[in-house]
């Protein structure tokens, strides 16, 4: 793996979504459809990452049992987030639940 | 002529306001450093990623993809999709920053993160018309950058000292962080539908090569969210309230 190419590529595409829009907005307006679509990007991308990571923790096998620490802890984290809206509290409780589950249901 | 806070005062206020948000970022950065090294990235590449890419969630995912031996072009495309949300932040901040030089915009754009965006848009929307609000942004961003790089370094060192940390499931920190970011976003039906469609698609498409399921899920989620929004009655006027709307 050529790490320099990987990092240069990642840096380039990341800069390309941050800077040009910032610079151009003084001069041009983004089409309303693009702005509307962008609003859905964060929940869509993040959920597309979360769901397989939680339900297929080993990368191959679906695991919907309650002994699955990824599933149980992410449900608890979602409830904490919903009630508290606090990112920090969600992370702390979620991680604690995750390790508690791993301790209670060793694989 | 009203008195405005000095540039230096704005800068330090930006630094100070960012500290509480960094509490969540510190474990995230340390875990990223440790996970990236155990996934097979060299310590130098892990640090370079934090220095030059500076986008935590995409770095986490890239480390995971490196561990699964996904080809570089796919990792770069995935990074693009994951970081696309920054275009929304830039689009929201842009109108406030018309007066800045390109040099300022390049620097502030490079360092833009979820956390700094949340603070800075609130600063720009504050009723005072201080001409130094970009110094507040600079303070917040510099503070985030130093925290992120330092925590990555700590994580890299810890990851090398504890070689079997990869078996602990620490990557769950990413899942739980994203959960804490997503749930508050699900405020209306189109958002919920977008998330559900993205999640189910990514799950069903999990077997695809090169983690294409992630991209497929994200694209379908956005598309279906747009369609549902078009059919629901009240169109949201502003993406994020800004001063024109508030005024």
What integer pLDDT is reported at residue B2 of this predicted model? 63
Is the ipTM above a cut-off of 0.90? Answer: no
pLDDT < 50 stretches in chain B: 238, 241-247
What integer pLDDT is reported at residue A32 of this predicted model? 85
Contact B217 A44 (CB under 8 A): yes
Say which residue, B88 or A82, is predicted with more confidence: A82
Q: Is B227 on the interface with A (CB under 8 A)?
A: no
Q: Which residues of B touch A13 (CB under 8 A)?
A: 76-77, 79-80, 83
Q: Which long-range contacts (CB under 8 A, 24 or more apart) does A86-91 make?
A: A86/B180, A87/B24, A87/B177, A87/B180, A87/B181, A88/B23, A88/B24, A90/B176, A90/B177, A90/B179, A90/B180, A90/B183, A91/B24, A91/B27, A91/B28, A91/B173, A91/B176, A91/B177, A91/B180
Nearest to A77 by CA among A42, A44, A107, A53: A53
Say which residue, A9 or A106, is predicted with more confidence: A9
Residue A52 and residue A70 in contact, taking contact as beta carbons nearer than 8 Å:
no
Q: Residue ranges per domain, chain B?
A: 7-180, 186-234
What integer pLDDT is reported at residue B179 of this predicted model? 92
Q: Residue ranges per domain, chain A?
A: 1-30, 41-104
Q: How confident is the model at residue A42 (pLDDT cuts 50, 70, 90)?
A: confident
Phi, psi angle pair for B34, to nearest 5°:
-70, -45
CB within 8 Å of B19: residues ≥ 6 apart: B143
Contact A37 B91 (CB under 8 A): no
Q: Is B197 on the interface with A (CB under 8 A)?
A: yes
Angstrom distance (rounded) from CA B137 to CA B121:
9
Q: Which residues of A touch B196 (CB under 8 A)?
A: 47
Angstrom distance (rounded) from CA A83 to CA A72:
17
- Of residues B28, B102, B178, nearest to A50 (C-beta): B178
Q: Which residues of B touch A46 (CB under 8 A)?
A: 57, 178, 181-182, 195
Catalogue the E-assigned strands of B159-211. none
Q: Is A104 on the interface with B (CB under 8 A)?
A: no
- Of residues B73, B109, B220, nearest to A18 (C-beta): B109
What integer pLDDT is reported at residue B224 of this predicted model? 97
pTM: 0.79
Residue B239 and residue B90 in contact, taking contact as beta carbons nearer than 8 Å:
no
What integer pLDDT is reported at residue A1 of this predicted model? 66
The alpha carbon of residue A65 is apart from the nearest alpha carbon of chain B, in Å, by 16
- Of residues B180, B196, B203, nearest to A90 (C-beta): B180
What integer pLDDT is reported at residue A58 of this predicted model? 82
The alpha carbon of residue A15 is apart from the nearest alpha carbon of chain B, in Å, by 6
Q: Which residues of A touch B24 (CB under 8 A)?
A: 87-88, 91
Q: Which residues of A touch B225 (CB under 8 A)?
A: 39-40, 43-44
Q: Which residues of B226-245 are buried (b: 16+ CB within 10 A; e: fewer)?
A: bebbeeeeeeeeeebebeee
The alpha carbon of residue B78 is apart from the nearest alpha carbon of chain A, in Å, by 9
Q: Is B155 on the interface with A (CB under 8 A)?
A: no
Q: Which of A46, A58, A67, A105 to mutate to test the interface with B (most CBs of B within 10 A)?
A: A46
Pick the residue from chain B with its C-alpha nearest to A90. B180
Q: Is B78 on the interface with A (CB under 8 A)?
A: no
Contact B88 A39 (CB under 8 A): yes
């Amino acid at each position: 793996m050529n790490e320099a190419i990987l990092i240069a590529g990642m840096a380039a595409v990341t800069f390309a979504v941050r800077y040009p829009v910032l610079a151009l907005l003084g001069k041009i307006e983004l089409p309303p459809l693009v702005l509307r679509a962008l609003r859905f990007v964060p929940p869509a991308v993040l959920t597309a990452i979360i769901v397989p990571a939680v339900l297929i923790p080993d990368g191959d096998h679906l695991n919907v049992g309650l002994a699955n620490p990824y599933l149980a802890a992410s449900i608890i984290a979602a409830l904490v987030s919903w009630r508290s809206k606090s990112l920090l509290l969600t992370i702390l409780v979620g991680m604690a639940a995750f390790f508690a589950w791993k301790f209670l249901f060793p694989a | 002529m009203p008195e405005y806070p000095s540039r230096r005062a704005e800068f330090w206020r930006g630094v100070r306001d960012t500290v509480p948000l960094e509490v969540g970022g510190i474990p995230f950065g340390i875990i990223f450093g440790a996970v990236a090294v155990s996934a097979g990235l060299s310590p130098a590449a892990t640090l370079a990623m934090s220095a030059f890419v500076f986008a935590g969630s995409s770095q986490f995912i890239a480390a995971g993809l490196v561990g699964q031996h996904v080809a570089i072009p796919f990792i770069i495309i995935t990074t693009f999709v994951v970081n696309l949300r920054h275009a929304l932040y830039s689009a929201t901040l842009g109108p406030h920053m018309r007066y800045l030089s390109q040099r300022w915009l390049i620097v502030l754009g490079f360092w833009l993160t979820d956390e700094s965006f949340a603070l800075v848009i609130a600063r720009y929307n504050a009723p005072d018309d201080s001409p130094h609000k970009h110094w507040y942004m600079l303070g917040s961003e510099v503070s985030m950058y130093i925290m992120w790089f330092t925590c990555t370094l700590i994580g890299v060192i810890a990851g090398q000292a504890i070689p079997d940390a990869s078996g602990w499931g620490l990557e769950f920190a990413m899942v739980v962080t994203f959960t804490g970011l997503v749930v508050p976003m699900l405020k209306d039906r189109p958002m919920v539908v977008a998330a559900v469609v993205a999640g189910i698609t990514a799950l069903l498409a999990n077997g695809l090569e090169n983690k294409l399921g992630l991209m497929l899920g994200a694209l379908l989620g956005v598309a279906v969210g747009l369609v549902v929004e078009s059919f629901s009655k009240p169109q949201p006027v502003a993406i994020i309230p800004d001063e024109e709307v508030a005024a």
